[in-house]
Structure 1
Amino acid sequence: MNELAITVIGHDRPGIVADVAEALAGLGANLTDSTMTRLRGHFAMTLVCTGPDAAAVENALAPLAADGRLLASVLSVVADRAEATPGEPHQVAVYGADRLGIVAAVTRVLASAGANVTDLTTRLAGQLYVLIAEVDLPAGAAEDLSGRLAEVGRGLDVEVTLRRVDPDVL
């Protein structure tokens, strides 16, 4: 069975998700992981599915991009069946005035602590910049990391918090 990574991006309109999902279902592709969002009037979708080969999926999605308002890409990927190293789930939140380099500085500190960013969202509301990230931390890393993030926050004049979260129950 083929595993594919698919991205769809372009001008937002009602029905994009339905159009993509129907095209994939029509090929017998099973959506296993996905994330979709609207970013300042633009739609962005990333998903992983199993099913037909990449060429068949590209052909099925081509009509959706024919008017030039959407771009769809398909990439064959190797299934990652290895067990992920368990980490301690945490949330990082950043609030403050918008400034260049917030994401770069915060994620660099996270990476240097061995944190794996599993989800990250940013929003600009007027002059307020908000970053929310879900991260898996190595055992025992939170205390030191919290201080390092606070230091970065002071340098950027933003508030940075780190808190442990309970794992999601599906």
Structure 2
Amino acid sequence: MNEYAVTVIGHDRPGIIADVAEILARLGLNVTDSTMTRLRGHFAMTLVCSGPPVAEEIEAALEPLTADRTLLVTVRGVMEEPVHEPTGSHHIITLHGADQLGIVATLARTVAEAGGNITDLTTRLSGALYVVVAEVDAADPAALEVALSSAAQHLGVEVTLRPADADLL
């Protein structure tokens, strides 16, 4: 079984997800992981899928979606992910404050240096207010909280760290 990362970016319009998902299903590809969002009128999606086709078949099937040049589609083979033991507990970081250059860079470096791993990150600019929500695996939440407090003071923003609620299925 082959595994691929399919990315789609471009101008948003209704039906992009349906178009891509239907093509992948017709090819016999199972979507095993995905993330999709709309950013200021632009669409971004990454899907990890598995199935029998080769990358060239997938690219050819998706090519009609790029004909009007408003979407860019890429297909890349991905290696099987090694099984990793959890490196810490799952937490949520929220940050809000005045927009300024370097907020994401500072936050990401702070988490990395504290031994944490960002597993999801979302940012939004609302007027002059910048908001970040990040999911992290924290090996030492207390140390991460101290590091985040220092970074927040340096940036002049508010930051909170809280344990993530378990997903209920």
| TM-score, normalization by structure 1 | 0.95
Separation in 2 of the partners of 1:28 and 1:57? 10
- For 2:15, the equivalent position in structure 1 comes to 15
Pairing 1:60–2:64 present:
no
Pairing 1:104–2:105 present:
yes
Which stretch has the larger CA shift, 11-20 or 147-156?
Answer: 147-156
Separation in 1 of the partners of 2:168 and 2:29? 26
CA deviations 1:94-129 (Å, max 9, x no partner) are 000000000000110101112111110000000010
- For 1:89, the equivalent position in structure 2 comes to 90
The offset of 1:88, in angstroms, is 0.1
Which stretch has the larger CA shift, 108-117 or 93-102?
Answer: 108-117
Identity of aligned residues (%): 58
The offset of 1:20, in angstroms, is 0.2
- For 1:50, the equivalent position in structure 2 comes to 50
How many residues were matched structurally? 168
Query: What is the root-mean-square deviation of aligned Cα atoms in Å?
Result: 1.0
Specify the SS of the correspondent of 1:82. coil
The offset of 1:86, in angstroms, is 4.3
1:53 partner letter:
V
The answer to whether the 8 A contact 2:138-2:144 is kept is: no
Structure 2 residues not aligned, in runs of 5+ = none
Structure 1 residues not aligned, in runs of 5+ = none
2:40 partner letter:
R
Specify the SS of the correspondent of 1:169. coil
The offset of 1:87, in angstroms, is 2.1
| TM-score, normalization by structure 2 | 0.96
2:97 partner letter:
G
